[in-house]
Copies of this chain bind each other. A is one copy, B any other.
Amino acid sequence: MILTVTLNAALDITYRLPEIDWDGSNRVREVVQQAGGKGINVSRVLAALGHATVVTGLTGGDCGRAVRTDLATCGLRDALFEVDGETRRTVAVVDHRTTTILLEPGPAITSSEWISFRAHYDCLLLLASVVVLSGSLPPGLPPDAYRILIHQAHAHGVPVVLDADGPALLHAIPARPAVVKPNAKELADVTATRDPLAGAQLLHAAGAGAVVASLGPNGLLACTQKGTWRACPPGELPGNPTGAGDSVVAALALGLASEAPWPEQLLHAAALSAATVLAPQAGRFDADAYDRLLSLVRIEEIDPGHPEGESCP
């Protein structure tokens, strides 16, 4: 079972309108709402691929209840931990021209809630083969929260895939997560270099077992103990990139669980990510496209001393 942890779970609300009047009243005909937060999205992908997964993290209040109702509706195993604060909402307002995202901060977590959650998480680790730690930290948690959760996982011999950014990512690296998956901007922000290969090498040297950077149209760049690879999708893909990174994380968690060789892991991760961009609904993947893409993604080993080219052709 792959355990995903979403410390700042969300109720994702999408309003779709023909054209928004930015300085007036808009009647919204189409309201879509679902459980969100990166770890929950990873579990959604894993479940769709037929793999056993359990969702944990922190939820509370009426929005937390709505999150749990949606998980139940989707048949996702819910081991969320209840807190007193109110789970955040994210609101996406989409018209034919723009997409506006509004992100609430999330509930303030007390220190006793954090202590109790760690005990709850410790119990879930007994059943997990891989842990995915994903997304932002809610207010009140220490910046090294992910470092603490990685140490707990390692005490149970469970490897960790980490998808975080900023201080939460930096604090966690010395705890040696098996894989970290920053995107280009997150990697540049924490390493202060615009060169993804140099950035990935820095995080790898600092303690990450492997660094898999998701570079949008430039595919994936993996810096591991076994070698350095690039996975290139077949050209620019039209579609919605929302959730493509969560699909990469899902594939990497499966690769870690099965101990697949890196080229195979990256092939699946790049194909699943591209199939997510191609699916009409954000965060879902097109299963047929995934199958087709497995023969179209190119995997290239890179000599880190002499990298040829900066990006996919």
Contacts and interface: CB of A to CB of B under 8 A. Distances in A.
A112 interface: no
Interface stretch (A27-35, A49-57, A124-132, A281-289): A27-35
A62 interface: yes
B105 A23 contact: no
Interface in A87-123: 89, 91, 93, 97-105
A61 B70 CA distance: 13
A63 interface: yes
Interface in A150-189: none
A25 interface: yes
Contacts of A22: 22, 98, 100
Nearest to A11: B62
Contacts of A25: 101, 103
Given A28-B102, A91-B91, 20 more contacts: A15-B91, A15-B102, A15-B104, A20-B100, A22-B22, A22-B100, A23-B97, A23-B98, A23-B99, A23-B100, A24-B101, A25-B101, A26-B100, A28-B103, A28-B105, A31-B105, A62-B63, A62-B65, A62-B69, A93-B100
Contact of A27 (B61, B63, B97, B105): B105
State which size class the interface on A falls in: 20 to 34
A105 B63 CA distance: 19
Contacts of A89: 13
Contacts of A190: none
